[in-house]
Amino acid sequence: MLELIDASRQYDVAGRAVRALDGVSERFPAGSITTVVGRSGCGKTTLLRLLAGLTDPSSGEVRRDAARSIGVVFQEARLMPWLDAAANVAFPLKGRLGRAEIAARVDEALTLVGLTDARRALPAQLSGGMAQRVAIARALAQRPDILLLDEPFSALDAFTRRSLQRVLVDIWRRRRSTVVLVTHDVEEAVLLGESVVEMEAGRVVGRVAVDLPFPREATDPAVVDLRRRILARLVGGADPFNPQVCSRRKP
Ligand SMILES: Nc1ncnc2c1ncn2[C@@H]1O[C@H](COP(=O)(O)OP(=O)(O)OP(=O)(O)O)[C@@H](O)[C@H]1O
């Protein structure tokens, strides 16, 4: 079980208290895939960092089975610049697994993200999207019980994004790890989540069960309809470029 109980996180920004997360209680059942959607700055990354144990809540609680392994994909690749793509993927496995197992996992993960030809390239020789795919491969190779992804596909072109979304769903269905994926793309949230958690101004304002079989298609009328409804709720007809919108609306 992965769970937030009345969790809040406050930051001090130039002497002003910013409530990045405001009393969130949310359960992420073992083996489920959940997407968290909301506009920029509404606390999605903070929620993920709390789940990962990278940030402590200012108040409230995070419950996570300590025996379960966690893999995190951040918004940016965070590769080690002196290691090639394959060595970056292998790095977290060193000392935990034998050489043959590491080699097999690295091959498998690089194949899944479509980067077998780039295995000897250094991060500086990769495009931004390729570097991000290496970061995704690094997380997949660890085969974590809990996989947390922070807008992992937003730096990718539409074709690569769609194929990696499929890879993620495939892997989740095969391994039944607990997956939480944060995105500002409502379509992606509907395509990938068994449930979509809607966030606004540091709060969870809705949770929608998406009762559609995988793999899902963006053109499926049920997906289109759900996307439209979530978007309408989150935007609420307000000016999407007005930052005040975030804090003005109450759940
Ligand atoms: N380390 C930090 N120090 C100070 N303020 C922070 C910090 N991290 C986040 N915040 C603030 O908390 C709020 C929520 O940020 P968070 O990164 O969680 O949002 P987000 O929904 O993930 O945004 P995005 O989609 O743009 O990544 C923002 O107002 C942000 O400025």
Please write the tens of the pLDDT for every residue from 148-165.
Answer: 999 999 888 998 899 889
Please give the CATH number for the structural domain made up of 2-69+144-248: 3.40.50.300
Question: Residue 242 has what pLDDT?
Answer: 47
User: Which pTM was predicted?
Assistant: 0.90
Indicate whether this complex's ipTM tops 0.90: yes
Distance 98 CA to ligand 1 centre (A): 39
Question: Residue 66 has what pLDDT?
Answer: 85
CB of 21 closer than 8 Å to CB of 8 = yes
Nearest CA to ligand 1 atom 26: 40
Q: How confident is the model at residue 247 (pLDDT cuts 50, 70, 90)?
A: very low
CA distances from 222 to 47, 159, 237 (A): 28, 22, 22
Stated length of the chain: 251
Helix/strand/coil for 198: strand
Distance 45 CA to ligand 1 centre (A): 7
Ligand 1 site, CB within 6 A = 11, 13, 18, 20, 38, 40-46, 184
Give the count of beta carbons closer than 10 Å to the beta carbon of residue 62. Answer: 17
Among 78, 50, 40, 67, residue whose Cα is nearest residue 180? 50
Candidate of 4, 9, 13 to mutate for ligand 1, largest count of ligand atoms within 8 Å of Cβ: 13
Q: β-strand 2-13 against 16-28: which pairing, if any? A: antiparallel
Q: Which residue has the higher pLDDT, 34 or 171?
A: 34
